[in-house]
Chain A
Amino acid sequence: DGGITQSPKYLFRKEGQNVTLSCEQNLNHDAMYWYRQDPGQGLRLIYYSQIVNDFQKGDIAEGYSVSREKKESFPLTVTSAQKNPTAFYLCASRATNQPQHFGDGTRLSIL
Chain B
Amino acid sequence: AQSVTQLGSHVSVSEGALVLLRCNYSSSVPPYLFWYVQYPNQGLQLLLKYTTGATLVKGINGFEAEFKKSETSFHLTKPSAHMSDAAEYFCAVSVNNYKLTFGKGTLLTVNP
CB distance from B40 to the nearest CB of A (A): 11
Residue in B34, B42, B105 whose CB lies within 8 Å of A40: B105
Number of chain A interface residues as a range? 20 to 34
Query: In the complex, A6 Cα to B102 Cα: how many Å?
Result: 21
In the complex, how many residue pairs between chain A and chain B have their CB atoms under 8 Å apart? 46
Q: Which of B42, B44, B49, B100 has the most CB of A within 10 A?
A: B44
- Chain B: how many interface residues by the 8 Å CB criterion? 19
Interface residues of A in 26-62 (CB under 8 A from B): 31, 40-45, 48, 50
Are A48 and B99 CB-contacts (below 8 A) given A40-B9, A102-B43, A103-B43? yes
Main secondary structure of the interface of A (DSSP, over half): strand
A105 and B41 contact, CB distance less than 8 A: yes
Query: In the complex, A43 Cα to B88 Cα: how many Å?
Result: 12
Closest residue of chain B to A101, judged by CB? Answer: B46
Contacts of A41 in B (CB 8 A): 104
Contacts of B43 in A (CB 8 A): 4, 6, 90, 92, 102-105
Interface presence of A107 (CB below 8 A):
yes
Interface presence of A18 (CB below 8 A):
no
Could you tell me which A residues sit within 8 Å of B by CB distance? 4, 6, 31, 40-45, 48, 50, 90, 92, 94, 97, 99-105, 107
Could you tell me which B residues sit within 8 Å of A by CB distance? 9, 34, 36, 41-46, 49, 90, 97-100, 102-105
